[in-house]
Amino acid sequence: MEVAKVIIDQNSHHTDRPFDYKIPGELREAVKVGSRVQVTFGKGHKKMEGYVLGVKDIEKPRYTIKNLQGVVQNVPPLSELQIDMILWMKKTYLCTYMEAISAVAPPKAYGNIKEKKDVYVRRKISSEKLESQLEKTPNNAKRQREILQYFLEEEELLLKSLPGIKSLYKNAVNALEKKGILEVIEKEKASKLLSMKSPSNPPRVPLTTEQKKALETMKEGFQQTQQNGVKGKTYLLHGVTGSGKTELYLGLIEKALEMGKTAIVLVPEISLTPQTMERFTARFGEAIALIHSSLTLKERYHEWEKIQQGKAKIVIGARSAIFANLENLGMIVVDEEHEYTYKSEQNPKYHAIEIAKYRSEKEGAQVILGSATPSVESYYRGEKGIYELISLDRRVTKHQLPQVEMVDMREELDVGNLSMISGSLKSQIEENLKNRGQTILFLNRRGFSTFLSCKKCGYVEKCQDCDITMTYHLPSDELICHYCGKKKKPITECPDCGSTTIKHFGYGTQKLEKNIENLFPQARILRMDVDTTTEKGAHEKVLNAFKNREADILIGTQMISKGLDFPGVTLVGIIAADSILNLPDFRASERTFQLLTQVAGRAGRGEDLGSVVLQTYKPEHYSIEEAIKQDYVGFYKREIGLREAFEYPPFTALYLVNLMGEDEDKVYNTAIKISKGIRYILKNEGHSDCLEECILGPNPSVITKINKNYRYRILLKNINIDKQLLKKVLKYVCINKRKQFVPDEVNLSIDFNPYSII
């Protein structure tokens, strides 16, 4: 008897296995492998849905088998390639079937999508007439006058983008509507990114010799792959800012399309701007589908439909676009490949590059990883020949770099300045305010990690085994290494210089905002960090306000780096380069280098080149030195040595096991039980020698408590042990025997190749 193996769409590890269902005669035609089907499930015969992941023959069943109830309409069945990928993801990321399916399958359309409408205000008369109207408007109608000012330049504005409280401007708008000057209209929400979609065949800028050579090499590789039908090659395109990487992407996509292939272009969510879109649409027009969070549900569904129906030849989007089920996939471009947003934060915790390489292997697509500051892992693979490394060293455009001034904060102490703003930065902000230029100030998140540092010489206490900054914990007054759990008494005297000026670092954007407010009471200040930007779109709002010059100073964490491209910005201040450098994470140096390189390498705008003030207690650190020199390879050479010495990626693979729950004892005991279980099995397998280095923890996570939930984690590293064996043991304990190790109140999730261990 032929039965369908169905994965029930229920988010639970208890039911994470295929269940058999009979296929009734009338459904034989409609049900395919990959179909979304209706079933009854459990003792209550609850109506549920699920996916058919396969069919099999059963001789005589040892249990009663229910019938499939039907096929869900309007959900395209998963393709064979998609099902293979789901199975591979489950194995690789140790997630559930449904988690893998949710990642791979396009988002479901929920019935009729009800879209909220946006309310706009539009000018009904010409701007000249408006001017005379403005004169006629009495002075006491302050609100009305203010609103009319806006419409001198704009024809149409979002109602809620008008200044003031809703009730205040609503009255004024109503009055103006009665006068026939303005009108209020409703429009369906629409993403700005979708507005331009016709090819305009802009004049092509001729490529430089360097670009030509790079393009030819990659095109040849593509041709070879297509002819020999082998798995696709991966290229690492390392090019400084302004070296013309995008132009090469366009050339490669063109080549792929010529050969009847399709392409995926991944761009970090935040840099997917109308300008970026325009580069692509100008060349390829309607053949593009866009996947981006600014899309409304309806738009999103429409774009996926376009992919499904084969109308799209190119898909541009953020992380999840890597799953676009294009046929004849030939080219995958990952721009800014070092960006952490390519790593999923939900289960399965995949990295888009991992999926790209998988598809490259299965579908024969070529992968292009582009970056000015590649991740250390990628560059290492480029050097080892696993990727083909192509470097673009010349800037295409005349590109003036800003003035970078480094301020040694240790000297500020000598002159009696104890604040977080150096004299130099203070005077530069003053100057910039006077000249009506905008300022961006970077600072890392607070509370995240507090560390101890000598203010005189910059010494920071690190774990001797892990080379990781030790984190200060207040309740116990101890320094703790979050990797291995080693503890230490806090230092009161610097072991390097003997000074007793030991300072706790860990201030955040809020405190800085207060500081700046006090220093420059007349300045308009915006702040953007995790706390202020929880609601969706809040991010964009703050950035847009800053772009429109509604503020003079923008304070924030790394997430404001998009603001670097705003033309009004003429001063960038890095308050404490050390706050990233001293994060308790193996990627701290890399992240510092990437941010500083980006800031120091930003294009000067127009006449004013702008300037950068970089404050640090450790000016001699290689991340800082090489970033100022804009020397990636110099940085890489220093960093890779340390990664090898302390056995971090790319020299080891990491697995992070996260345990979470409201009962701290239960969470801790579970963590202990799991680590003991893994140790026990490894010992029996004859690996007692590597237990100490392989299994670190359990330790409390750096953020020990989120939302009433206590968090512990175990870190696994493959030192002196086969990666596969370590993973097998991990899977055995955490997945196969989960019931014995993990109670239901404790949440477990596994992160393979974590981006950071914070």
Partner DNA sequence: AGCACGCCGACT
Partner DNA sequence: GTCGGCGTGCTC
Q: Which spans of this chain sit near Zn ion (rule: CB under 5 A)? A: 454, 456-457, 459, 463, 465-466, 481, 483-484, 486, 494, 496-497, 499
CA atoms within 13 A on the CB side of 172: 22
Measured N-to-C along each axis, helices 245-258 and 274-284 cross at an angle, to the nearest 10 degrees, of: 30
From the CB of 708, what's the least distance to DNA, in Å? Answer: 16
- Give 733's DSSP letter: I
- 208/499 with CB nearer Zn ion: 499
Interaction partner, residue 484 (DNA, Zn ion, none; CB < 5-8 Å by kind)? Zn ion
CB of 415 to Zn ion, least distance (A): 17
CA end-to-end span of the chain, whole Å? 52
> Is 95 part of any known ligand binding site?
no
Q: Are strands 262-266 and 329-335 parallel, antiparallel or unpaired?
A: parallel
What gap in Å lies between CA 172 and CA 181, rounded to an integer? 12
CB 264 within 8 A of CB 355: no
* Least gap, CB of 414 to Zn ion (angstroms): 13
* Residue nearer to DNA on the CB measure, 219 or 738: 738
Closest C-alpha among 227, 142, 134, 271 to residue 563: 271
Output the smallest distance, CB 11 to DNA, in A: 6
CA dist 588 → 444, 581, 758 (Å): 12, 5, 10
Residue 735 DSSP code: I
Please report how close the Cβ of residue 119 comes to DNA at its closest, in angstroms.
Answer: 36
The entry of Zn ion, DNA, none that residue 20 binds, CB within 5 to 8 Å by partner kind: DNA
Distances (CA, A) of 383 to 235, 360, 386, 712: 11, 20, 8, 36
The answer to whether the CB of 651 falls within 8 A of the CB of 718 is: no
Applying CB under 7 A, among 7, 9, 21, 632 the residue interacting with DNA is 21
The residue among 380 and 483 lying less far from Zn ion, judged by its C-beta, is 483
Q: Is 734 annotated as a binding residue?
A: no
Nearer Cβ to Zn ion, position 481 or 572?
Answer: 481
Stretch that binds DNA, among 34-42, 490-498, 526-534, 674-682 (CB under 7 A): 34-42
Q: Is the dihedral angle over the CA atoms 105, 111, 112, 114 positive or is it negative?
A: negative
**Closest separation between CB of residue 599 and Zn ion, Å?**
27
Return the number of the residue (388 or 693) whose C-beta is nearest Zn ion: 693
Among Zn ion, DNA, none, residue 466 binds (CB under 5-8 Å by kind): Zn ion
Q: Which is nearer to DNA, 40 or 532 (CB)?
A: 40
Query: Among the candidate windows 9-17, 264-272, 539-547, 646-654, which touches DNA by CB under 7 A?
Result: 9-17
C-alpha 427/C-alpha 476 separation (Å) is 41
Report whether 389 contacts 355 (CB < 8 A).
no
Query: Cβ closer to Zn ion: 539 or 618?
Result: 618
Nearest to 370 by CA among 235, 275, 555, 468: 235
Three-state secondary-structure class, residue 665: helix
585 Cβ partners below 8 Å, 6+ apart?
A: 468, 591, 756, 757, 758
Query: Which range of residues in 6-14, 189-197, 448-456, 649-657 is near DNA by CB under 7 A?
Result: 6-14
Least gap, CB of 75 to DNA (angstroms) = 20
Helix axes 723-731, 664-684, angle to 10 degrees: 130
457 is in an annotated binding site: yes
Give the interface segment with DNA, choosing from 15-23, 128-136, 188-196, 694-702 (CB under 7 A). 15-23
For position 417 contacting DNA by CB under 7 A, the verdict is no
Decide: is 212 part of the binding site for DNA (CB under 7 A): no
Q: Is 690 annotated as a binding residue?
A: no
Distance, CA of 697 to CA of 483 (rounded, Å): 7
**Distance of alpha carbon 369 from alpha carbon 378, whole angstroms:** 9
- Shortest Å distance, C-beta 362 to DNA: 29
Tokens of 417: 């300045």
Residue 622 tokens read as 């290689």
Residue 21's binding partner out of Zn ion, DNA, none, with CB under 5 to 8 Å set by partner kind? DNA
Full 3-state SS string of 604-629: CCCCCCCEEEEEECCCCCHHHHHHHH
Task: Give the Cα separation of 631 and 639 in Å (integer).
Answer: 13
Residue with tokens 């969706």: 536
662 is a site residue for DNA (CB under 7 A): no
Q: How far apart are CA 631 and CA 596, in angstroms?
A: 11
Q: Shortest approach of Zn ion to residue 453 CB, angstroms?
A: 9
Question: Total number of residues binding DNA (CB under 7 A)?
Answer: 21
Q: Does 498 bind DNA (CB under 7 A)?
A: no
Segment near DNA (CB under 7 A); pick from 19-27, 77-85, 264-272, 715-723: 19-27
Residue 20 in contact with DNA, rule: CB under 7 A = yes
Quick one: what does residue 14 bind among Zn ion, DNA, none, with the CB cut-off 5 to 8 Å set by partner type? DNA
Q: Which of DNA, Zn ion, none does residue 497 bind to, with CB < 5 to 8 Å depending on kind?
A: Zn ion
Binding segment for DNA among 8-16, 116-124, 191-199, 504-512 (CB under 7 A)?
A: 8-16
Q: Which of residues 717-746 bind DNA (CB under 7 A)?
A: 744
Cβ–Cβ < 8 Å for 637, 644: no
Could you tell me the smallest distance in angstroms from the CB atom of residue 106 to DNA? 23
**Which residue in the set 2, 11, 163, 346 belongs to the binding site for DNA (CB under 7 A)?**
11
Footprint (CB under 7 A) of DNA, residues 35-74: 40-46, 63-66
Backbone angles phi, psi at 652, to 5 degrees: -135, 160
Measure Cα distances from 130 to 51, 93, 147, 161, 178 in Å. 60, 61, 11, 20, 15
Q: Which amino acid is at 694?
A: C
Distance CA 219, CA 236 (A): 14
Amino acid making up residue 537? G
What residue 683 binds from DNA, Zn ion, none (CB within 5 to 8 A, per partner kind)?
Answer: none
**Least gap, CB of 619 to DNA (angstroms):** 51
Provide, rounded to whole angstroms, the least separation between the CB of residue 492 and Zn ion.
12
Figure out which of the listed residues 7, 9, 13, 480 binds DNA, where binding follows CB under 7 A.
13
Q: How far apart are CA 317 and CA 749, in angstroms?
A: 27
Query: Between residues 39 and 694, which has the closer beta carbon with respect to DNA?
Result: 39
Closest contact distance (angstroms) between CB of 12 and DNA is 4
Residue number, 560 or 748, with CB nearest to DNA: 748
Structure tokens at 699: 């330790």
Query: What does DSSP say about strands 182-188 and 117-123: parallel, antiparallel, or unpaired?
Result: antiparallel
Return the number of the residue (53 or 454) whose C-beta is nearest DNA. 53
14 binds DNA (CB under 7 A): yes
Name the binding residues.
454, 457, 463, 466, 481, 484, 494, 497
Name the binding residues for Zn(2+).
454, 457, 463, 466, 481, 484, 494, 497
Q: Which residues bind DNA (CB under 7 A)?
A: 10-15, 19-21, 40-46, 63-66, 744
